[in-house]
Structures are given as C-alpha cells and as structure tokens.
C-alpha cells in the first residue's frame, strides 16, 4: 500500500502515532502495530526513519484492524516500509486541498458532539477518526495556563479550543514546546495565510469531571500554505 504521510502525532514520549492519505483516492489510513507494540520516535525521518510529512512511502502488506471510530487502522510491519519519494510542496498542498472538508461533521458525522469548548465522539461510536479541515476563519495558537498548546478554532457561533499534538511543535521529550515555532505559525495565521488542519480523534479516555469515556478531537497536524512541508509547520 502506497501512501503520503500527513499526520505525525506526539503521544507520551517516545511514542508517536502516524497517519497517511492514499494519493489516488484520498482515503486516510492509520498504520499501527497494535497497542502492545507502540510506534516510537526512531521511525521519524529526523531520527533516520522513513516517516516525514509529505513522504511517499510503500507500507507493504497491511491488514485491516478497524474498531469504531478508528476505522482507518491497518496493521503493518515497520521493517518492510520503503520510502519511494517525497511530494513537492505544491503537490502536497494540492493533495490536501483536494480532500479537505469545511465542516467537522462532514468528516466525523453526527456522532461528533460539542462538549464545553471541545468536541468528542462517544466511545465505540462513529465511522471515522481522521480527516482534513479547511479553516474558513483565522485560527490562533495559545499556550494555556497548564502549559499545553491549543488551537482556537473560530468555526460556527462559538470558538473551540483543541489540543495540538503535531510532533513538530515539541522537543524530543514531547513536553517542551518550541515557542519560536509557535510564534512563527501564530504570526502567519494572523497574517491570513491559508491553514489546513489534520484533525483526528484520540483513543477513548474519561476526561476529568466527565462521566464517560470519549474520543476527543485534536489537531494532529497544521499545514500552512506558504510552507506546506518542512521540519516546522
């Protein structure tokens, strides 16, 4: 299976999550080795691995491993991955634009429900957990009072505050925020540069003060049209 990498998500260091889009159909997949064998930073291109934003890779044989809403999950074998090439910035941007949606519900369905300042899907519900959102109004990046990076999404009548898990915004410990990268992206957003968001649903967990486990919405990646590829968004 040949795919283009467009989501590189930080988890608890050194764990990462990878997602990609098929260049011919625009279908998202999430290559996984199962929860007992998590993917780690050594698979990133900066560490000598095969995965980088915009990389065209051949995964080899894969096996569907869906569990709602993570219907995109496919088991793969990292040692069989081959880097075929890398899309040009213009081709990568064209690919994302061609498969972006303008509404979150178009991506995740009516199962995606507003909860306070975020959105979530109830555990085990839904038919999609990955997508690309074309931002219609200028978003903003903020570091909250807990030191977490969040994106203020100004969609609809109320803004939402979504966690940003793009691995390029943090150091190798996955905690220390690269403030210079945040400042740069923030300024370009303010200047009106086109923004495409790689959005995804997290594995289900019970948030503080909640009574149920839910799959919470997060921003897995930020693509800025003036610099679609690179070690920084």
Average pLDDT over all residues of the chain:
95
pLDDT tens-place string over residues 89-117: 999 999 999 999 999 999 999 999 999 88
Give the predicted TM-score (pTM) of the model.
0.96
Q: Among the residues of the chain, which ranges form H helices? A: 89-99, 104-108, 179-190
CATH code 3.30.200 for 2-91: no
Which letter does DSSP use for residue 214 in this model?
E
Distant-in-sequence, close-in-space partners of 183: CB < 8 Å, separation ≥ 6? none
CA-based radius of gyration for the chain: 17
Instruction: State the maximum Cα–Cα separation within the chain, in Å, rounded to a whole number.
Output: 47
- In angstroms, rounded to a whole number, what is the distance separating the alpha carbons of residues 83 and 145? 40
Instruction: Retrieve residue 65's tokens.
Output: 């491993």
Residue boundaries of the structural domains of the chain: 2-91, 101-224
Burial class (CB within 10 angstroms; exposed 0-12, middle 13-18, buried 19+) of 131? buried
pLDDT tens-place string over residues 46-89: 999 999 999 999 999 999 999 999 999 999 999 999 999 999 99
**Collapsing DSSP states into helix, strand and coil, what is residue 7?**
strand
């Amino acid at each position: 299976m040949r795919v283009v990498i467009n989501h590189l998500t930080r988890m608890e260091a050194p764990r990462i999550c990878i997602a990609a889009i098929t260049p011919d159909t625009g279908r998202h997949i999430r290559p996984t080795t199962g929860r007992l064998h998590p993917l780690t930073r050594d698979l990133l291109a900066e560490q000598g691995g095969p995965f980088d934003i915009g990389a065209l890779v051949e995964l080899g044989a894969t096996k569907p491993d869906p569990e709602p809403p993570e219907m995109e999950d496919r088991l793969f074998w990292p040692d069989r991955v081959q880097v075929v090439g890398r899309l040009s910035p213009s081709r990568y941007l064209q690919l994302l634009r061609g498969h972006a949606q303008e509404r979150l519900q178009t991506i995740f369905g009516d199962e995606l429900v507003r909860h306070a300042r975020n959105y979530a899907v109830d555990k085990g519900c839904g038919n999609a957990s990955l997508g690309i959102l074309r931002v219609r109004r200028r978003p903003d990046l903020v570091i909250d009072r807990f030191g977490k990076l969040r994106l203020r999404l100004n969609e609809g009548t109320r803004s939402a505050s979504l966690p940003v898990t793009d691995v390029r915004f943090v150091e190798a410990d996955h905690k220390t925020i690269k403030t210079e990268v945040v400042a740069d992206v923030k300024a370009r957003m303010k200047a009106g540069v086109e923004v495409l968001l790689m959005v995804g649903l997290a594995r289900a967990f019970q948030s503080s003060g909640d009574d149920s486990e839910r799959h919470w919405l997060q921003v897995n990646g930020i693509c800025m049209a003036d610099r679609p590829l690179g070690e920084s968004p």
